[in-house]
Amino acid sequence: MAYNVLIVDDSHIVRRVLIKALGLAEVPVGAFIEACNGAEALGVLRSKPVDIVFLDINMPVLNGMDFIREVRADTDLKDTPIVIYSTDGSDSRREELERAKIQGYLRKPASPERLVEIFSSILGEVAK
C-alpha cells in the first residue's frame, strides 16, 4: 500500500526538505501533494484522496490551527490523520494541539527515523 501525503507549509523550501526527508525515510508514498496554506489544503482534501497530512502552523490566509478546526468540523474529512510539522513546540501550543485531536507532533527539522515512527504509528506497519 502506498500513501498519498499532503504537505502544507507556506515555505517552498520546507516542503522540499520534508519531501526529501520522507524519501530518505523510505516510507511508502504514492504521491506528494503540496499546499501553501490551510485554504489550499482544504481544497485538496475535498478533491483528492489523502492518507496523511503534514501541517505547518504559521501560514497566511488560513493557518494550521484554523485548518484543523475546519477539518474536524467536516463530516467527510474529520478523521484525516494530521501531523503537525512546526518550529512551535511551546507547552501551551502542545496542549492546544492535544485538544485538537492531532495524531502527531514533529519539530522542524525531523529525522528520517522520526518520520518512519510517525508513519508507522498512524498508518500501521511501514513496508521496508
Least separation in angstroms between CB 37 and Mg ion:
9
Q: 79 is written with which cell numbers?
A: 478523521
The closest of 8, 7, 12, 5 to 27, measured between CA atoms, is 5
* Interface region with Mg ion, contact rule CB under 5 A, candidates 40-48, 50-58, 71-79, 107-115: 50-58
Question: Interface with Mg ion includes 111 (CB under 5 A)?
Answer: no
- Give Cα separations from 93 to 64, 115, 119, 128 (angstroms): 12, 21, 22, 34
Cβ nearer to Mg ion, comparing 58 with 121: 58
Report how many residues bind Mg ion under the rule CB under 5 A: 4
Which residue from 1, 16, 30, 58 is in contact with Mg ion, where contact means CB under 5 A?
A: 58
d(CA 15, CA 9): 6
Within 4-23, which residues bind Mg ion (CB under 5 A)? 10
Cβ nearer to Mg ion, comparing 33 with 59: 59
Q: Give the H or E element holding residue 55.
A: strand 52-55
In this structure, is the dihedral angle defined by the CA atoms of residues 117, 122, 125 and 128, taken in order, positive or negative? negative
Q: Which residues bind Mg ion (CB under 5 A)?
A: 10, 56, 58-59
